[in-house]
Chains A and B, each alone.
Chain A
Amino acid sequence: MSNQVKDIFPVLIENAAALVLYLDLDGKVALCNKKTQSMVGLSRTQIIGKNWLKVLFRNKNSSLRGDMFKAVLDDALTYKRSKDFQCHLSGKNDDLRLVSWNITPILDKNDRVQGSLLLGLDITSFRERENSLKNIDDSLKNIISSINEYALYVINLDGLITYFGMGCEKMFGYTKPQIIFKHVGILHNVNKAAFELSLIFEKVRQSGRYESEMELFTRQGQAIPVRMTVNRFLDADGKLTGYIFIAKDITETKKLEYQVFQAEKLAALGQLSAGMAHEINNPLFVISGRLEILKQEKIAPEYREVLDLIDSQATRIRKLVDRILKFSRKSTLTLDKVDINQIIDLALPLVNDSQLPARKVEIIKSFAGNLPKVLGDPDQLQEVFLNMIINAYQAMPGGGLIKITTSNFENLYAQVQITDSGVGIPAANFKNIFMPFFSTKGKGTGLGLSICHNIIKSHNGSIELESQINQGTTFTIKLPFA
């Protein structure tokens, strides 16, 4: 080292942007630089020769920090090793600065401690930036995790999932370790995966983006309707390295769409059946009327039998048309404030009639007390519950249990659940269950549930079902409180 450079060394220390202090063995400050003076707000003469603790921790509130610092310093001196320490320092105007300290014992030739060097860096602004970044990061995490109908994942060019982001675990039921580096096809229908993915990749290659509705599958194999957006994933040089998938769960939208579609379909069917019923009723009336007149004539016995047969078949048509009209009718509701529990109680005795074959069926009622009343037509609602209970009965050829539960749903609806322990309804039949003439019972007209559906809809209510094969079916009816 040349002399010139040696001379400049004290100048460097004096002007360094760090606090530099040299303490003697008694803990008195022997040397300090400019930065130290400006940080503690004292002049050099006020500092030199003073106990270092009284210089750095003059403030009464800071004595605890001083004690901790002293412990670290003693440790460094005792074990003759360098130590790091972070603490706040009350600077000028008592503003708190965060300082990161390094304490180094200075040894003489005989390895004896002769003093200690304190080097302090003001890291206040650095920490503030770090904190604000952390805050942004935290709030982003919060925002993303609160949008739980979205799932974001990334795949590489081999189709392997490289990022399984927020919302993914919740939507698909896989944990990250279970799915990272698995092929993305795992989220698709096994038979359609190859086709769907090649379509997506082709579209993204062509236009940079793919957007469409499709079905993805959870780990449990349950289909989720999603609105899928796929974009290119580029590296810093703009090279394609994969694809970003954003899937939005649209189950609720689909459900609403389906309900509207269903309601429109039923309304159209209602109109059609009303027209048809009327057209059938006229000729049928002529047939029945002419028969009636004919039956009063003198007729050979063998023809009388034929007439009776024609009569009974005409009656059959008449009854069917009656049911169709009932389904199609926009009947006027005679509205009243009604107690749903009471309506069900009135419907129950009507179930035990001769139409039903003898079976061991137990009915358990679990009614909510203090259930507010609903605005409804008592006769029509009674017909609904009667129908539902008979259905439940018929679903259990070997007997079983019918559970009827009423409850207050979010202070908005009276909820009635009718659960049987019967054969269940295959999922494929769910969409047809409320359609007129849909029946799996082999008898009856298949109009019962569609009539129930219409009645509940005209009460601004809803009717839904859940079913498990061989375990049973639950119908849930919600009617708004009056």
Chain B
Amino acid sequence: MLYKILIVDDEAPVRDLLVDLFKKEDCQTVACGTGQEALNKLATESFDVVLLDIKLAEMSGLDLLENIRHKYTDMPVVMITGFGFDEELICKSKQYGCCGYIAKNMPVVQIIDTFKRLVKEAKEKGCSR
């Protein structure tokens, strides 16, 4: 197994797709749809990385990121968004301490490659920041 990933996205089809895509990459995945669910999972299981949608239904992705950063200092978090490369969002995500940013409108192959590269870099640094 390459990585154990916690996938957080409020849209089921997107969630399911991400699960299937990363299964093919020899990753283990756990998926959930809300920020609270994600915090519960993080409390009970250990993960290599969190893949987090910026726009969530209740707690926003950025709030969740801040929460995770607070409790799990070294946990790499990769943000994913449908807004494309919005500089404002990228800036905020970086401030809140994510290790990378993926746009859903990138070609699928590129999404997977970028994700893997980001996690590898984060692990090598030994720190998410």
Chain A residues within 8 Å of B, Cβ to Cβ:
274, 277-279, 281-286, 288-293, 296, 315, 318, 321-322, 325-326, 329-332
Contact, CB under 8 Å: A293 / B24: yes
Q: List 26 A-B contacts (CB under 8 A).
A: A277-B82, A277-B84, A278-B55, A278-B82, A279-B82, A281-B84, A281-B103, A281-B104, A281-B105, A283-B13, A284-B104, A285-B17, A286-B13, A288-B107, A289-B17, A289-B20, A290-B17, A291-B108, A293-B24, A318-B107, A321-B105, A322-B105, A325-B85, A330-B88, A331-B87, A332-B91
- B11 beta carbon closer than 8 Å to chain A: yes
User: Closest Cβ of chain A: how far from B106's Cβ, in Å?
Assistant: 9
Contact, CB under 8 Å: A274 / B83: yes
The docked-state distance in angstroms from the alpha carbon of A290 to that of B24 is 12
Q: Which of A274, A285, A293, A296 contacts B104 (CB 8 A)?
A: A285
Contact, CB under 8 Å: A292 / B109: yes
User: Closest Cβ of chain B: how far from A455's Cβ, in Å?
Assistant: 13
- B56 beta carbon closer than 8 Å to chain A: no
A-B contact count (CB 8 A): 69
1/0 contact trace for B77-120 toward A, CB 8 Å?
A: 00001111111100100000000000111011100000000000
- B42 beta carbon closer than 8 Å to chain A: no
The docked-state distance in angstroms from the alpha carbon of A277 to that of B88 is 16
Chain B residues within 8 Å of A, Cβ to Cβ:
11, 13-14, 17-18, 20-21, 24, 55, 81-88, 91, 103-105, 107-109
User: Closest Cβ of chain A: how far from B9's Cβ, in Å?
Assistant: 9
Contact, CB under 8 Å: B82 / A329: no
User: Closest Cβ of chain A: how far from B109's Cβ, in Å?
Assistant: 7
Q: Which of A277, A289, A326 contacts B21 (CB 8 A)?
A: A289
Contact, CB under 8 Å: A286 / B105: no
Closest to B108 in A: A292
User: Closest Cβ of chain B: how far from A274's Cβ, in Å?
Assistant: 7
Q: Which of A286, A318, A329 contacts B14 (CB 8 A)?
A: A286
Closest to B91 in A: A332
User: Closest Cβ of chain A: how far from B114's Cβ, in Å?
Assistant: 14
Contact, CB under 8 Å: B91 / A325: no
User: Closest Cβ of chain B: how far from A179's Cβ, in Å?
Assistant: 59
Cβ contacts under 8 Å, B82 to chain A: 277-279, 281-282, 285
User: Closest Cβ of chain A: how far from B32's Cβ, in Å?
Assistant: 17
Cβ contacts under 8 Å, B18 to chain A: 289
Closest to B9 in A: A282
Closest to A281 in B: B82
Cβ contacts under 8 Å, B24 to chain A: 293, 296
Closest to B55 in A: A278
Contact, CB under 8 Å: A325 / B14: no
The docked-state distance in angstroms from the alpha carbon of A285 to that of B51 is 15
